[in-house]
A and B are shown apart, each in its own frame.
Chain A
Amino acid sequence: MTNSNGFKRVVVTGTGVVTSLGSSVDQFWDGLKSGACGIDQIAGFDTQDLYITIAGECSDFEPRERLSSKLLLLADRYSQFAGAAAAEAIEQSGLEVPFVDSDRAASIVGSGAGGLNTLEKAYYDLFALKKKATHPLTLLRTIGSSACAHIGIEYGIKGPTFGTVSACATASHAIGLVFDMIRRGSIDLGVAGASEAVVNYGSMRAWQAMRVLSPEGCFPFSKTRNGTVLAEGAGILVMEELEYARARGAKILAEVKGFGMTSDAADMVNPDVEGPSKAMKFALDAAELIPGDINYLNAHGTATTVNDANETDAIKRVFGDAAGSLAISSTKSMHGHLLGAGGGVEAVACIKAMEDNFAPATIGYAEPDPDCDLDYVPNAGREMEINYTMSNSFAFGGLNAVLVFGRPPE
């Protein structure tokens, strides 16, 4: 079955996450629905002389719970997150493992930073402890393509396998690429998303030096926002061509309707209105929808002064009069900013929002900002009919990726 534009239709049959709210989709969604906050004082390492000491750590993550392969248990934390999220998603999809149509399957799982924990330890060993050698797995653990390769090995995926890299848009680019490959007919199914594990001393130092982190919490769109909060985790989707999923009797969770990507080509840190607006417009066009069709928008909403005002302007530009009736929230207020993995867990939030007809809140919203004057579902989630959702991911460098989801086809 194809769309009116001749493309095949793409559906989601599995979702998996590792987040500060819990290491399963059920725990994650329960957290989002109840307005829980996964951001806390960093416990995973000694914060020493840092003045930013909060993050969204996956403190309950236990690799052995979902991972059985020795390879993955020896991998970097970021690969373990990806492996665990993929395991949850594939289990839910009911796909036969290893995949039967292995050449027609993709593993596109990216990371903004790759195995930084491994790299930090290796450099500490070399430069501080003056050790003679690094651990033999240092290289394989560090490379940004180890997560997608591990997942490919686990499930016998022999088609397109690589990682995307676009900072905070990484997962959305990965999902968008698999969407495009399936709808053009070059593959039948794929595992897509991203993983990030950068809550460590060196990385916190680097972020602290950029002066964009909040010492207190993530308060998107509120006048009181004062920076973003780093988090770790992974978000993965299993995506299939509609008829492929139907033929095997799969339970379909949602349809991926559209994808739009642009670049500002302007500045490394200051976002532009035009790039994000066009990405949203292109995603709507690909979905063959009009702005008024979207009920819920999971915003990029990092809680930096600049992003939230700029994103608000971009939404208004695209949605026009429909912007006023759009429910918008930044779930980063609850799970923190997972950087490359953000678009992955936020895609899952969009899918659950449709399934439950529930728009999750923007928590920590204390005071309206004249520069951010839309409906951000402040502090309490909302039961409402949700047929179409949009997920925004806007990265450093001005790299924009937007996804549109719909309910399972009739």
Chain B
Amino acid sequence: MDDVAKNIIEILKKHMKEPRDDISLDTELTELEIESLDLAMIVFDIEDTFGIEIPYNANEEVEDFKTVGSVVDRVSALVSGGNDQTSSGAAA
């Protein structure tokens, strides 16, 4: 697991009432009992940590926020320079 993944899992754990140690890339966010406002705060923390912007919209089902791995992929892509906000999931 790379640093981006480790960092994101730490952020997720910080926002969980009872942090778990068994979170893997395959873990679905719904399993972590993360609600809409939690997700807004998690996305904020991720943006702040990595210096990126993710136009996530709580009103939409976004594939990027399905599993821990999909979040990691999205963030990795943004960190490596593909920060094309107009093509991000939430705005679509």
- Name A's B-contacting residues (CB within 8 A): 49, 51, 209-215, 225-227, 268-270, 304-306
Cα(A157)–Cα(B90), bound, Å: 49
How many A-B contacts at CB < 8 Å in the complex?
47
Kindly list chain B residues whose C-beta atoms are within 8 Å of the C-beta of A305.
Answer: 58-60
Kindly list chain B residues whose C-beta atoms are within 8 Å of the C-beta of A215.
Answer: 55, 57, 90-91
- Name B's A-contacting residues (CB within 8 A): 35-37, 39-40, 43-44, 53, 55-60, 85, 90-91
19 CB < 8 A contacts A-B: A51-B55, A51-B85, A51-B91, A209-B44, A210-B37, A210-B40, A210-B58, A211-B39, A211-B43, A211-B57, A211-B90, A212-B59, A213-B57, A215-B55, A215-B57, A215-B90, A227-B59, A305-B58, A306-B36
Kindly list chain B residues whose C-beta atoms are within 8 Å of the C-beta of A209.
Answer: 40, 44
Cα(A226)–Cα(B59), bound, Å: 5
Tell whether, in the assembled complex, residue A211 and residue B56 are in contact, meaning their CB atoms are under 8 Å apart.
yes
Which of B55, B59, B85, B91 touches A304 (beta carbons < 8 Å)?
B59
Cα(A281)–Cα(B85), bound, Å: 45
Cα(A58)–Cα(B44), bound, Å: 31
Least Cβ–Cβ distance between B48 and chain A, in angstroms: 11
Tell whether, in the assembled complex, residue B59 and residue A269 are in contact, meaning their CB atoms are under 8 Å apart.
no
Cα(A220)–Cα(B55), bound, Å: 21
Nearest CB to that of B61 among chain A residues?
A305
Nearest CB to that of A304 among chain B residues?
B59
**Given contacts A51-B85, A211-B43, A227-B59, could you give 7 more A-B pairs where the C-beta distance is less than 8 Å?**
A49-B53, A211-B36, A211-B58, A213-B57, A215-B55, A215-B91, A269-B36
Tell whether, in the assembled complex, residue B36 and residue A227 are in contact, meaning their CB atoms are under 8 Å apart.
no
Question: Binding site of A, secondary structure by majority: helix, strand, loop or mixed?
Answer: loop
Tell whether, in the assembled complex, residue B57 and residue A226 are in contact, meaning their CB atoms are under 8 Å apart.
yes
Least Cβ–Cβ distance between A48 and chain B, in angstroms: 12
Cα(A217)–Cα(B30), bound, Å: 28
Least Cβ–Cβ distance between B70 and chain A, in angstroms: 17
Cα(A5)–Cα(B43), bound, Å: 53
Kindly list chain B residues whose C-beta atoms are within 8 Å of the C-beta of A49.
Answer: 53
Cα(A227)–Cα(B90), bound, Å: 11
Tell whether, in the assembled complex, residue B91 and residue A270 are in contact, meaning their CB atoms are under 8 Å apart.
no
Tell whether, in the assembled complex, residue B37 and residue A269 are in contact, meaning their CB atoms are under 8 Å apart.
yes
Cα(A211)–Cα(B53), bound, Å: 12
Tell whether, in the assembled complex, residue B91 and residue A212 are in contact, meaning their CB atoms are under 8 Å apart.
no
Cα(A227)–Cα(B40), bound, Å: 14
Tell whether, in the assembled complex, residue B59 and residue A214 are in contact, meaning their CB atoms are under 8 Å apart.
yes
Cα(A227)–Cα(B43), bound, Å: 17
Closest 6 CB pairs of A and B: A211-B58, A305-B59, A227-B59, A226-B59, A211-B40, A51-B55
Kindly list chain A residues whose C-beta atoms are within 8 Å of the C-beta of B53.
Answer: 49, 51
Cα(A51)–Cα(B36), bound, Å: 19
Kindly list chain B residues whose C-beta atoms are within 8 Å of the C-beta of A212.
Answer: 57-59
Cα(A3)–Cα(B59), bound, Å: 45
Least Cβ–Cβ distance between A228 and chain B, in angstroms: 9
Least Cβ–Cβ distance between B22 and chain A, in angstroms: 27
Kindly list chain B residues whose C-beta atoms are within 8 Å of the C-beta of A225.
Answer: 59
Kindly list chain B residues whose C-beta atoms are within 8 Å of the C-beta of A268.
Answer: 37
Kindly list chain B residues whose C-beta atoms are within 8 Å of the C-beta of A214.
Answer: 57, 59
Cα(A306)–Cα(B39), bound, Å: 15
Interface centre among B39, B58, B85 (most CB of A within 10 A): B58
Least Cβ–Cβ distance between B65 and chain A, in angstroms: 11
Cα(A304)–Cα(B59), bound, Å: 6
**Known A-B contacts A51-B55, A211-B40; A226 and B60 likewise in contact (beta carbons under 8 Å):** yes
Kindly list chain B residues whose C-beta atoms are within 8 Å of the C-beta of A213.
Answer: 57
Kindly list chain A residues whose C-beta atoms are within 8 Å of the C-beta of B59.
Answer: 212, 214, 225-227, 304-306
Kindly list chain B residues whose C-beta atoms are within 8 Å of the C-beta of A51.
Answer: 53, 55, 85, 91
Cα(A332)–Cα(B17), bound, Å: 36
